[in-house]
Amino acid sequence: MKLQLWQIDAFAGKPFEGNPAAVVPLESWLEDAQLQRIANENNLAETAFIVCEGQGRYGLRWFTPTTEVDLCGHATFASAWLLFAEIDPSLTSVSFETRSGMLVVERGADNRNSMSLPSDIVAPLNDPRMAREIGNALGTQPPPELHTGRNVLAIFRDASEIRSIKGPGDVARVIPNDKGLIVTARGDNGYDFISRYFAPHHGVPEDPVTGSAHCALTPFWAKRLGKKTMRARQVSPRGGDLVCTDAGARTMLSGTCALYMRGEIFVPGA
């Protein structure tokens, strides 16, 4: 069976920035094991699979190289870009039915689209031992604050601490196996806040730009900074920019995408 595949850099102004996602349109769902094998072969942080369910309506599922996930912002963003740019340019918005409910992406001008995701309101986590171990794992000082939601959120004092982290180290030993680790601080260079995201339990040592992480970062920093709309930078080695708006129960993310590759994949037994 031959399938089309696009690789798209989300939250990027040009290729080789932002977060790459593979997007594979399907006529109908394949077996879960087959979807997982394709994602593993692609070896990107996420592969998105979409199935048309009507005009402007699609089913959407996301797979890392090792598992299916409940929410992936950048691969949703990439999927919408593909629909707007190449599959159905008549669309002005697209609705995706997902494991996290209905997600809507609105088409904007100059390749800048906007996406609504469910907010992740974090709660303080009083765990000095975890803070010390996170600092040791990352090769830095312990974060003064920890919070918890869908991920562990570690707040550092200065942007330079976030930028200096070499990688996740053995953070997989420290955080719960159903969570990733977001590290963040007030921004520099014109950004309101910066962050990085490590998800070793999901086969993603460091994610380049993480839409779902900003569902926690946006409401947190909106309250801390007293701002609704903020400029954010994920300072991974690739890096990427987002504009984030706190809308209460929803988080609005906007940005651009860049096409890297169109191709065909050959799937035996499908």
Catalytically active residues are 46
* 8 A C-beta contact, residue 183 and residue 196: yes
Residue 81 φ/ψ, nearest 5 degrees: -55, -45
Phi-psi region of 145 (alpha: psi -120 to 50; beta: other; left: phi over 0): beta
Q: Which residues of 36-45 are buried (b: 16+ CB within 10 A; e: fewer)?
A: bbbbeebebb
- Cα dihedral 165→168→172→177 (10° resolution): 90
- Helix locations, the chain, DSSP H: 32-42, 73-82, 128-138, 159-164, 214-225
Long-range contacts of 173-179 (CB under 8 A, 24+ apart): 173/133, 173/137, 174/130, 174/133, 174/134, 174/137, 175/130, 175/134, 175/201, 176/152, 177/201, 179/148, 179/150, 179/151, 179/152
CA 218 to chain centre: 13
What is the distance in angstroms between the CA of the first residue and the CA of the last residue of the chain?
6
Tokens representing residue 27 in the block: 């006529």
- Helix locations, 12-158, DSSP H: 32-42, 73-82, 128-138
CA 244 to chain centre: 13
> How many whole angstroms separate alpha carbon 145 and alpha carbon 23?
37
